[in-house]
């Protein structure tokens, strides 16, 4: 590949989404500690974490384009990252129940060889249905909430918990395809 592309993410959802663009890439998971303070301004947090991942991988693969991303959920002036356990996951879903929240994703593209640095942020809104314990139990049988910001994923089981959304569906999944395609196209990585 003339310009190799590396996805700096362990997320299977990001791998699936990026593959839909028809671009060849490999995955290298960044060995970094993400900033996850729940009081941090969410746009800054996801942009920082996406850049942190991309920079770490780009330092080790200076010839490659490296794509990093980070997603979080934001409600009541608080960031909801991945829950530590099912008790916290249930509390997150109860907090989101019957309300609208914001999903922020930061996307970073790097190539160390020539100093390429692109950072972008995307925002979507998600409205939850009212939820009771039985609905949350049913949802947990369909979805593992522990590997998802806000303890949910929009791509599976959404009929149980989500009333609607505005903005990029793929942003809510973890990689805003419209913005990602535009970034990769501008550097000749997608035709």
Which residues are tagged catalytic? 70
Are 52 and 34 spatial neighbours (Cβ–Cβ below 8 Å)? yes
Report the half-sphere exposure of 183 (CA within 13 A, side-chain side). Answer: 26
In the block, residue with structure tokens 């409600």? 75
- How far apart CA 132 and CA 85 sit, in angstroms, is 19
147, burial (CB in 10 Å: exposed 0-12, middle 13-18, buried 19+) = middle
CA angle in degrees (0–180, nearest 5) for 109-110-115: 140
Q: How far apart are CA 179 and CA 120, in angstroms?
A: 8
Tell me the CA end-to-end span of the chain in Å, nearest whole number: 14
The answer to whether the Cα torsion of 59, 61, 65, 69 is positive or negative is negative
**Minimal CA–CA distance to 9: which of 51, 62, 42?**
51
């Amino acid at each position: 590949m003339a310009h190799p592309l590396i996805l700096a993410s362990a997320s299977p959802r990001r791998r699936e989404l990026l593959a839909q663009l028809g671009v060849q890439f490999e995955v290298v998971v960044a060995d970094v500690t993400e900033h996850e303070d729940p009081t941090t301004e969410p746009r800054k947090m996801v942009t920082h974490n996406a850049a942190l991942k991309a920079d770490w991988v780009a330092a080790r693969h200076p010839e490659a384009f490296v794509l990093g991303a980070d997603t979080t959920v934001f409600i009541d002036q608080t960031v909801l990252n991945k829950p530590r356990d099912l008790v916290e996951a249930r509390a997150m879903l109860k907090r989101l129940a019957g309300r609208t929240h914001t999903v922020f994703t930061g996307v970073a593209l790097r190539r160390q060889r020539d100093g390429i640095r692109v950072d972008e942020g995307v925002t979507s809104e998600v409205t939850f249905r009212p939820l009771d314990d039985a609905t949350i139990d049913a949802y947990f049988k369909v979805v593992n909430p522990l590997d998802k910001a806000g303890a949910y994923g929009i791509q599976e089981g959404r009929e149980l918990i989500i009333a609607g959304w505005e903005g990029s569906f793929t942003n809510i999944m973890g990689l805003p395809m419209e913005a990602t395609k535009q970034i990769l196209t501008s550097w000749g990585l997608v035709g």
